[in-house]
């Protein structure tokens, strides 16, 4: 009897989770509403702009493909951010790691000549290792020298950018390309297209595997538990005997590896040569994806889909109407601040928690009287 | 080639350019210093400077008045810092993530507005914006080498050096500075003696935003005479690093900012030589990393000397 009653009353933990989800959804809604408002105020053809923004991505197969293409790299950087931020490390070198990963894959795809299936695998591995290096440096500086990763990782991003551009421009630049770009990748290294009429490539499957493995590792394994525990309470983790420094390094190396793999998948799937001219922003997008997903890899695909969708929508709108694509940055920033603002909806959450506690008390009293 | 480089470095022009590129870094470092002392160090200076640079250009172009441009720039930059305060202090949002959000907002928002105003996503050259004048200092400009180095800078450059002393006076010699430091060192203790912690932190952010905005305004109305997409290019972060390296002391921060300015100017000079420009452009950032290590390991020695505490104390950013 009591068991069934206790099930009908929510535990405080459930209430907290409910409000976390509510805050994310409300944050996204508010951000989109503000975006609509901006469109209405600025555009000469607000209804047309809104239409291309909201249903533009669904209008043709090609654009639906664009959404999937846009979300593919975000799966990698999103899961990477889940690993790093779960350990409570604000290492933003995923941004540089992505670019270095692209560089690693480029080296693998232009210098080595291997048989089909093995070639992209080697490239992904190389990209991952390059990406891990990007996140390794700030992590090491923190563990060894106690220098917080915020500034060092931001510096690392610029260093990664110059490493990548330097190697592309001076070592593997194709003089015949007509613009700064690497030699073309071997056909064997390029990822296969999986949907006719779009650029959707096999990377999406690799990404989904990464999501699955990332979730199992972070939420269903002992090592993952250590990462999350160190992130929640580093003192508790240290006193219960967890090797804190090792766990910190581990989480950031995995994060960097995944970010690098994302860069590798992106260049091998979408392009035939390395042609970035600077940082790509995929790492910072990954941070947004991670925040929306609550640092849980299982929710990363949804968050990446959302971001991919509004990005393609804004792209369609910027080409059909007079609203620039940078509207997405404004949406992104509003979502981030609303999701991370602990006090946002705090009163409502508090009231709900009190209500639950009262119910629980009343139930206990009844049980005691009986 | 080596001789070329050496003669380029040991020239008055080079020293002049060091001061020129140090100016925005110094402004930002001083802003970070004030914020660090007040316990509200954040990474939104990048966005703050970018917004200030943009608003300054727009304000001066539409009013054709330098002062209005300055005010617009300051208002824009301080606005970003006030948003930082609202989300961080009132809504209790994580300071780093809010900083990322505000930087994204500034980066995208300025380009968005630029496109709406002049139908261009890269440069504001179609706006007739004004710039701050260069000034010659009466006596010094006649001194042989020194005159070439110290005179003829933008008026904001002199303001930045003046700011070093003003910040010193503010932090260490005024009641407000005492309150700022008290709140920064121990908010609970400060609150127990009747200091309004939230209000003081807002004041700190306001002052920090004001100083950083001057750096932003300098970028688009002195260093260059137009606004360019993402023109701050990491200076907001280097400023924080300079402040870290200077251990939040005004003079040491000034010297650290000069060091980063030197690395920056060096990369500008070496780019004209036959060295891969990427390697040279990375110098300021590598220097920052080394500086962070040097700073952190020096403070660690001090701490472990007193007591073998293995706690991870949040030490700046």
DSSP letter, residue B154: E
- Is-contact A345 A34, C-beta < 8 A? no
**Taking CB atoms and an 8 Å cut-off, how many pairs form between chains A and B?**
153
For A160-219, write each residue's pLDDT tens digit.
999 999 999 888 888 887 788 888 888 888 888 888 888 899 999 999 999 999 999 999
Q: Which contacts qualify for B193-199: CB closer than 8 Å, 24 or more apart? A: B198/B89, B198/B90
Average pLDDT over residues A109-128: 91
For B239, nearest residue in chain A (alpha carbons): A151
B39 vs B269, more confident:
B39
Closest CA to A189 of A101, A109, A110: A109
A309: pLDDT strictly greater than 80: yes
User: What is the percent of chain A with per-residue pLDDT over 90, rounded to a whole number?
Assistant: 58
pLDDT band at residue B295, thresholds of 50, 70 and 90?
Answer: confident
Across the interface, of B109, B278, B316, the residue whose CB is closest to A329 is B109
- Is-contact A295 A86, C-beta < 8 A? yes
B 138-167 residues inside an 8 A Cβ radius of A: none
Average pLDDT over residues A337-360: 85
Which residue in this structure is represented by tokens 């300055």? B70
Chain B residues whose beta carbon lies within 8 Å of the beta carbon of residue A156: 285, 289
Sign of CA dihedral A129, A132, A134, A138: negative
Residue-range domains of chain B with CATH: 2-133+151-296 (1.10.3470)
B 186-225 residues inside an 8 A Cβ radius of A: none
Other CB atoms within 10 Å distance of the CB of residue A197: 11
Average pLDDT over residues B233-260: 88
For A343, nearest residue in chain B (alpha carbons): B91
Q: Which residues contact A202 (CB under 8 A, 6 or more apart)?
A: A191, A192, A194, A269
pLDDT band at residue A277, thresholds of 50, 70 and 90?
Answer: confident
Q: Is B230 left (phi over 0), alpha (psi -120 to 50) or beta?
A: left
Q: State the angle between helix axes of B197-218 and B45-63 in degrees (0 to 180), rounded to the nearest 10.
A: 60
Across the interface, of A158, A159, A324, the residue whose CB is closest to B115 is A324
B1: pLDDT strictly greater than 60: no
Angle at B8 between CA B3 and CA B10, to 5 degrees: 95
Mean pLDDT score across all residues of chain A: 90
For B251-262, write each residue's pLDDT tens digit.
999 999 998 898
For A81-110, write each residue's pLDDT tens digit.
999 999 999 999 999 999 999 999 999 999
- Is-contact A263 A73, C-beta < 8 A? yes
Chain B residues whose beta carbon lies within 8 Å of the beta carbon of residue A345: none
DSSP letter, residue B119: S
DSSP letter, residue A176: G
Hey, is the C-beta of B245 within 8 angstroms of any chain A C-beta? no
pLDDT band at residue B300, thresholds of 50, 70 and 90?
Answer: low
For B51-74, write each residue's pLDDT tens digit.
999 999 999 999 999 999 999 999
- Phi and psi dihedrals of B93, rounded to 5? -85, 150
A35: pLDDT strictly greater than 80: yes
| CA-to-CA separations, A214 to A79, A221, A236, in angstroms, rounded | 7, 10, 24
From A131's Cα to the closest Cα of chain B, the distance in A is 18
Mean pLDDT score across all residues of chain B: 86
Beta carbons of A333 and B104 less than 8 Å apart: yes
For A219-261, write each residue's pLDDT tens digit.
999 999 999 999 999 999 999 999 999 999 999 999 999 999 9
Helix (H) or strand (E) segment spanning residue B153: strand B153-154
Average pLDDT over residues A153-159: 91
A5: pLDDT strictly greater than 50: no
Query: Looking at domain A70-322, which of 3.30.70, 1.10.3470, 2.30.30, 1.10.1740 is its CATH number?
Result: 1.10.3470
B 1-20 residues inside an 8 A Cβ radius of A: none
B34: pLDDT strictly greater than 90: yes
For A277, nearest residue in chain B (alpha carbons): B278
B315: pLDDT strictly greater than 70: no
| Separation of alpha carbons A221 and A235, rounded Å | 21
Instruction: Count the helices and strands in chain B (H runs, E runs).
Output: 14, 2
A130: pLDDT strictly greater than 90: yes
Chain A residues whose beta carbon lies within 8 Å of the beta carbon of residue B102: 333, 337
Beta carbons of A166 and B278 less than 8 Å apart: yes
B275: pLDDT strictly greater than 80: no
Closest CA to A77 of A201, A258, A237: A258
Closest CA to A167 of A108, A93, A113: A108
Report pLDDT for A7. Answer: 52
B201: pLDDT strictly greater than 60: yes
| Separation of alpha carbons B171 and B20, rounded Å | 26
Report pLDDT for A299. Answer: 93
B304: pLDDT strictly greater than 60: no
DSSP letter, residue B247: T
For B157-199, write each residue's pLDDT tens digit.
999 999 999 999 999 999 999 999 999 999 999 999 999 999 9
């Amino acid at each position: 009897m009591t068991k069934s009653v206790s099930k009908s009353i929510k535990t405080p933990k459930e209430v907290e989770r409910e409000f976390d989800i509510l805050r994310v959804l409300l944050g996204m809604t508010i951000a989109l509403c503000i975006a609509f408002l901006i469109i209405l105020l600025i555009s000469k053809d607000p209804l047309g702009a809104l239409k291309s923004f909201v249903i533009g991505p669904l209008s043709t197969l090609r654009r639906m493909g664009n959404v999937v293409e846009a979300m593919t790299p975000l799966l990698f950087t999103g899961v990477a951010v889940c690993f790093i931020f779960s350990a409570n490390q604000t290492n933003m070198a995923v941004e540089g790691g992505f670019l270095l990963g692209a560089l690693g894959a480029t080296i693998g795809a232009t210098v080595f000549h291997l048989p089909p299936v093995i070639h992209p695998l080697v490239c992904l591995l190389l990209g991952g290792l390059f990406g891990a290096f990007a996140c390794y440096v700030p992590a090491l500086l923190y563990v060894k020298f106690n220098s917080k990763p915020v500034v060092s990782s931001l510096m690392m991003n610029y260093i990664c950018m110059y490493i990548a551009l330097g190697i592309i421009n001076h070592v593997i630049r194709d003089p015949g390309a007509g613009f700064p770009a690497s030699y073309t990748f071997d056909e064997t290294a390029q990822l296969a297209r999986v949907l006719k009429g779009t650029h959707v490539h096999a990377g999406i499957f690799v990404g989904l595997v990464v999501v699955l493995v990332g979730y199992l590792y972070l939420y269903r394994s002992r090592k993952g538990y250590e990462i999350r525990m160190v992130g929640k309470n580093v003192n508790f983790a240290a006193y219960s005997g967890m090797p804190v420094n090792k766990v910190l390094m581990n989480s950031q190396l995995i994060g960097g590896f995944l970010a690098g793999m994302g860069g590798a998948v992106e260049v091998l799937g979408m392009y035939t040569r390395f042609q970035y001219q600077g940082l790509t922003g995929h790492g910072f997008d990954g941070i947004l994806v991670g925040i929306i997903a609550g640092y849980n890899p299982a929710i990363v695909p949804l968050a990446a889909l959302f971001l991919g969708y509004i990005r393609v929508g804004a792209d369609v709108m910027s080409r059909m109407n007079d609203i620039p694509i940078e509207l997405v940055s404004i949406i992104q920033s509003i979502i981030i601040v609303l999701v991370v603002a602990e006090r946002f909806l705090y009163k409502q959450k508090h009231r709900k928690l009190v209500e639950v506690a009262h119910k629980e008390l009343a139930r206990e009293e009844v049980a005691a009287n009986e | 080639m080596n001789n070329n480089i050496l003669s380029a470095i040991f020239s008055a022009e080079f020293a002049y350019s060091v001061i020129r590129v140090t100016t925005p870094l110094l402004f930002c470092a001083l802003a970070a210093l004030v914020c660090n002392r007040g316990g509200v160090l954040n990474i939104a200076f990048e966005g703050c400077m970018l917004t200030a640079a943009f608003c300054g250009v727009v304000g001066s172009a539409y009013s054709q008045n330098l002062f209005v441009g300055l005010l617009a720039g300051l208002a824009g930059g301080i606005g970003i810092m006030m948003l930082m305060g609202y989300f961080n202090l009132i809504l209790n949002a994580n300071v780093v993530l809010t900083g990322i959000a505000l930087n994204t907002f500034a980066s995208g928002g300025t380009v968005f507005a630029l496109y709406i105003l002049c139908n261009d996503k890269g440069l504001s050259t179609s706006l007739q914006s004004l710039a701050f004048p260069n000034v010659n200092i009466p006596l010094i400009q006649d001194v042989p080498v020194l005159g070439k180095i110290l005179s003829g800078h933008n008026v904001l450059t002199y303001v930045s050096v003046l700011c070093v002393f003003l910040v010193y006076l503010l932090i260490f010699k005024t009641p407000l500075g005492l309150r700022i430091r008290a709140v920064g060192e121990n908010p609970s203790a400060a609150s127990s003696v009747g200091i309004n912690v939230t209000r003081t932190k807002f004041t700190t952010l306001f002052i920090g935003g004001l100083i950083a905005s001057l750096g932003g305004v300098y970028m688009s109305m002195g260093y260059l005479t137009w606004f360019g997409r993402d023109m701050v290019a990491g200076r907001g972060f280097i400023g924080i690093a300079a402040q870290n390296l200077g251990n939040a002391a005004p003079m040491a921060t000034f010297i650290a900012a000069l060091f980063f300015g030197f690395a920056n100017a060096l990369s500008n000079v070496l780019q004209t030589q036959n060295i891969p420009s990427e390697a040279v452009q990375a110098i300021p950032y590598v220097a920052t990393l080394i500086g962070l290590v040097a700073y952190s390991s020096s403070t660690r020695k001090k701490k472990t000397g007193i007591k073998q505490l293995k706690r991870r104390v949040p030490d700046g950013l």
